Amino acid sequence: MSYAFDFSGFGVYAGMLARGTAVTLGLTAVSTVLGGLVGIGGASVAVAGPRWARTLIAAYVELIRNTPFIVQLFFVFFGLPSLGIHIDEVQAAILAMTVNLGAYAIEIVRAGIESISRGQVQAAQALGLHGRQVFRYVVLPQALANVFPSLLSQVLIVMLGSAVVSQISVPDLTYAANFIQSRNFRSFESYVIITVTYLVLSIVLRQLLNWLARGLFAGRMPHRPDEPRGWRLLLAWRGARTITTER
């Protein structure tokens, strides 16, 4: 078995691949911020909200976590127009990715909040902080630090899962590969290129967010002298798992 790779016809498509990479990253960035906010807001309601709101959140989480992402995407893109709501394919992709990430993030953040011991809350109350301050300054930062690795994994899953938005003609990385192989018939090469691109994106994004977390959750992480530094950081696949909270 041998296959003669031929990347010669790909030069003209470099711009398209670059744009596709930018679209994939952009979609991921926007839906991560929005989905994260949905997660934090939803989780705070899920642990402390009124009963009807809790039921609503639970229904949303169950609905999204028990249906395939591509079906949610098709529902938004092909389904909503028949209800009179017209949004273009990029908005549809962001909405579907946000709604999807939001549901998982709610569960993750809720677990983080529940991991904070009652002692922390009682100590904060003893210091005179009222309800919202306790949540904002004591519970939430520790909760997020605890579950950060899970959130990070979920963000990466959403980024990789965003490959299916090419199905509704969003010009992302996968769309670029599909387009190129429909024109030059080098399908193996096309998919090799985007496989490597997705891999690099994942590794870089993971390291970037880990690095961000180190600043964000400083003081909540123990000092680790044997932590990899410099280029070794790139190979520290499980780096995020080492973040723990000092209590």
Partner 1 sequence: MTTPDSSALRAGRAQRILATLATTLAFTGVVALSAFAAPAAHADALDSIARSGVVRIGVFEDYPPFGSIGPDMKPEGYDIDMANLIGKTLNAKVELVQVTGDNRMAYLADHKADMLLSVGETPEREKVIDFSQPYAPYYLAVFGPKSVAVRNAGDLAGKTISVARGTLEDLSVTKIAPPSATIKRFDDPNGAISAFLSGQVQLMVVGNDVGATILARHPANDPEQKFALFSSPDHVGLNKNEPRLKQKIDETIARARKDGTLNAIAVKWLRAPLPADL
Q: Spell 130-163 as b/e; 16+ CB within 10 A means b.
A: eeeebbeebbbbbbbbbbbbbbbebbbebbebbb
By CB under 8 A, how many residues form the interface with partner 1?
A: 17
| Residue with Cβ nearer partner 1 (13 or 77) | 77
The closest alpha carbon to 105, from 140, 155, 156, belongs to 155
The closest alpha carbon to 114, from 140, 134, 132, belongs to 140
CB of 228 to partner 1, least distance (A): 42
Selected from 2, 8, 66, 82, the binder of partner 1 by CB under 8 A is 82
Non-local CB neighbours of 167 within 8 Å, separated by 6+ positions: 70, 73, 74
Non-local CB neighbours of 125 within 8 Å, separated by 6+ positions: 134
Residue 86 in the binding site for partner 1 (CB under 8 A): yes
- Phi then psi dihedrals of residue 68, to 5 deg: -70, 145
CB of 67 to partner 1, least distance (A): 19
Residue 77 in the binding site for partner 1 (CB under 8 A): yes
| Residue with Cβ nearer partner 1 (60 or 74) | 74
Site for partner 1 in 139-198 (CB under 8 A): 166-169, 175, 178-179, 182-183
| Residue with Cβ nearer partner 1 (178 or 210) | 178
Locus of tokens 């990430």: 101
The contact pattern for partner 1, residues 94-133, with x = CB under 8 A and - = no contact, is ----------------------------------------
CB of 81 to partner 1, least distance (A): 4
SS3 218: coil
Choices 56-64, 71-79, 111-119, 143-151 (CB under 8 A): range interacting with partner 1: 71-79
Q: What gap in Å lies between CA 76 and CA 181, rounded to an integer?
A: 28
Give residues in contact with partner 1 (CB under 8 A).
77-79, 81-82, 86, 88-89, 166-169, 175, 178-179, 182-183
